[in-house]
Amino acid sequence: MNIGLVGLGSMGLNLAKNLISKGFIVNAFEKNKRIIDDISLQNISGLKIYNSLNQLCENLSGPKIIMLSLPANKIDECIEELIKYLNPDDIIADLGNSLYLKSIDRHYYLSKHKIDFLGIGVSGGPRGAKFGPAIMVGGTQKAWNKVENIFNSIAAKKDNVTACCYFGSSGSGHLVKLIHNGIEYALMEALAEITNTLMYAFKLNQDDQSKQLNKVISTSSSSFLLEITSKILNAKSDDNQYFINQVDNKIDQNGTGKWTVNTALDFGVSIPSIYAAVSNRSSSINFNYSTKTEQSIENNKIFEINEVNLEEIIFFNFVCSLYQGVSVIFASNQLENFNFNIKEIFKAWSSGCILQGEYLDQVSKEYDLTGNFNLEFLYNLINKKIHNNLLSIRNFISIATKTGNPIPVLSANLSYYDSIFSNHKIGETIQLQRSFFGLHPLKDKRTKKDIKPYWTKL
């Protein structure tokens, strides 16, 4: 299979280097002259760059795969031109962050031209692309059979497990990647909220915050995100200033978090922590708008770090957010005719990607024991690790709230847990409210018979 690659930005170029390191020759097209000039200075053996898509395709004998490493809004335009130069049974593989519904549409469109399509989620950033990313694939079995050796060879590996999984029908690979990114939003936000609370409520300086996270890194609650957070907290510039005190606080986003929220809404799945993380990125344009909030009466009190269990706090929030995201994938089996195997999802995320970590290994091992992915699984998973009715988590959230520290994801995860696993009358109250103003029908929870309160008798 001859390899063509369109797009030599940071992801594309590092994927090319990865492919070359495994013995493949990469033929590429990049329209940005500055990028081409920069690459030419590197003198990369095994990479040949052509001046046009037409020239690229003409110099690749069949069968061939054209990999697209492009922004999502450039994919359709590129496909439209490639169709002119490709032959039946050639393959186009979209390696970018595309909405899974678009991948389904592209599959059907290209099948009319007898061209195969693979929608492939690639996680790990430029470093992962170069040294081994996590790879999530959807598309025709026929196309995958032709190229799986290529992607298996460049994917991340851990304990003889390759983080490259084929999930079946078109759109499935990009759905897994979409949910991966949504969970990523929540985990990043959770760590930011935790370290912010350590700074302002527990009065820990940057070095001490990093030390506290490093203690958790040596436990089964560790993760890639935890490791990089411990490093950035006390990272300094050349003039000895902490980067965290210099960098702008407006958070960028590429849209995949919004797609995750919309997909969950479409499937009727609750993902409050992911929504809170996405919402807070949108709110960041107003961060530090004003300091009109009155000084908290607790703000002058210094809380001791030994009052809370940081490992439990991190594990709880990571597992709750992960469960919410994977629940969306699980629901898609019924609503989008997918056939996801939850174990394969954990395998795809086991190394190379942003979600990788020992906490995920714990989740995967527990799933191996039970074979179930349901609320009982979530409850048992958390309560094996955390005792005393989540007292440490509740204390931490209470301290953050008392000292005026924002914790949208931490509080969303705790509310999610309590909404499911505690006794309350929230549902009953809202049902009665709806009935009173809208005369919506009511059912008895035990007998399922109609209930007709006095206000329904007009």
pLDDT in tens, 74-102: 999 999 999 999 999 999 999 999 999 99
Side-chain half-sphere of 218: how many Cα atoms within 13 Å? 4
Rounded CA-CA distance 213/354 in Å is: 17
Quick count: other Cβ atoms within 10 Å of Cβ 437?
Answer: 8
Answer yes or no: do 324 and 345 share one domain: yes
Answer yes or no: do 197 and 312 share one domain: yes
177 in a domain, yes or no?
no
Residue type, 319: V
Quick count: other Cβ atoms within 10 Å of Cβ 307?
Answer: 11
394 in a domain, yes or no?
yes
Rounded CA-CA distance 50/399 in Å is: 59
Residue 21, domain CATH? 3.40.50.720
Which DSSP state fits 123?
E
- DSSP class per residue in 293-324: SPPPTTTTS---GGGS-HHHHHHHHHHHHHHH
The structural domain count of the chain equals: 3
133 in a domain, yes or no?
yes
193 in a domain, yes or no?
yes
Residues 6+ apart with CB under 8 A from 30: 6, 7, 8, 12, 36, 39, 49
Give the torsion sign (CA, 164, 168, 173, 178): negative
Rounded CA-CA distance 144/147 in Å is: 5
11 in a domain, yes or no?
yes
Pick the last residue of a domain from 142, 170, 198. 170
Rounded CA-CA distance 261/235 in Å is: 33
Residue 317 dihedral angles phi and psi, to the nearest 5°: -70, -35
Question: Could you read off the pLDDT of 281-319 as tens digits, one per residue?
Answer: 999 999 987 666 665 556 667 788 988 999 999 999 999
Answer yes or no: do 308 and 431 share one domain: no
183 in a domain, yes or no?
no
Rounded CA-CA distance 57/53 in Å is: 6
- DSSP class per residue in 370-436: H---SHHHHHHHHHHH--GGGHHHHHHHHHHHHTT---HHHHHHHHHHHHHHS---HHHHHHHHHHH
The CA-atom distances, in angstroms, between 115 and each of 77, 86, 324 are 16, 8, 36
Answer yes or no: do 224 and 292 share one domain: yes
179 in a domain, yes or no?
no
Task: Write down the pLDDT at residue 294.
Answer: 60
Residue 255, domain CATH? 1.10.1040.10
Answer yes or no: do 332 and 437 share one domain: no
- For the chain, what is the mean pLDDT? 94
Cα Rg of the chain, angstroms: 25
Please report, rounded to a whole number, the percentage of residues in the chain having pLDDT higher than 70: 98
How do beta strands 450-451 and 442-443 pair?
Answer: antiparallel
pLDDT > 60? residue 25? yes
Pick the last residue of a domain from 170, 201, 222. 170
256 SS3 class:
helix
Answer yes or no: do 410 and 275 share one domain: yes
Answer yes or no: do 93 and 225 share one domain: no
Rounded CA-CA distance 413/313 in Å is: 11
408: preceding bond cis by omega (within 30 degrees): no
Question: Could you read off the pLDDT of 377-404 as tens digits, one per residue?
Answer: 999 999 999 988 999 999 999 999 999 9
Dig out the tokens for 438 from the structure: 């809208």
Task: Write down the pLDDT at residue 113.
Answer: 96
Answer yes or no: do 387 and 432 share one domain: no
Answer yes or no: do 442 and 372 share one domain: no
Rounded CA-CA distance 131/156 in Å is: 7
Of 132, 130, 60, which is closest to residue 92 (Cα–Cα)? 60
The residue with tokens 């890639």 is 224
Question: Could you read off the pLDDT of 403-457 as tens digits, one per residue?
Answer: 999 999 999 999 999 999 999 999 999 999 999 999 999 999 999 999 999 999 8
Range of the domain at 442: 426-456
The residue with tokens 């008392």 is 402
* Residue 288 or 42, more confident: 42
Rounded CA-CA distance 25/404 in Å is: 56
Answer yes or no: do 432 and 295 share one domain: no
Residues 6+ apart with CB under 8 A from 104: 169, 170, 171
Pick the last residue of a domain from 170, 198, 232. 170
178 in a domain, yes or no?
no
Answer yes or no: do 166 and 210 share one domain: no
Answer yes or no: do 251 and 350 share one domain: yes
Mean pLDDT of 202-223: 96
The CA-atom distances, in angstroms, between 47 and each of 32, 40, 149, 173, 293 are 16, 10, 19, 27, 57
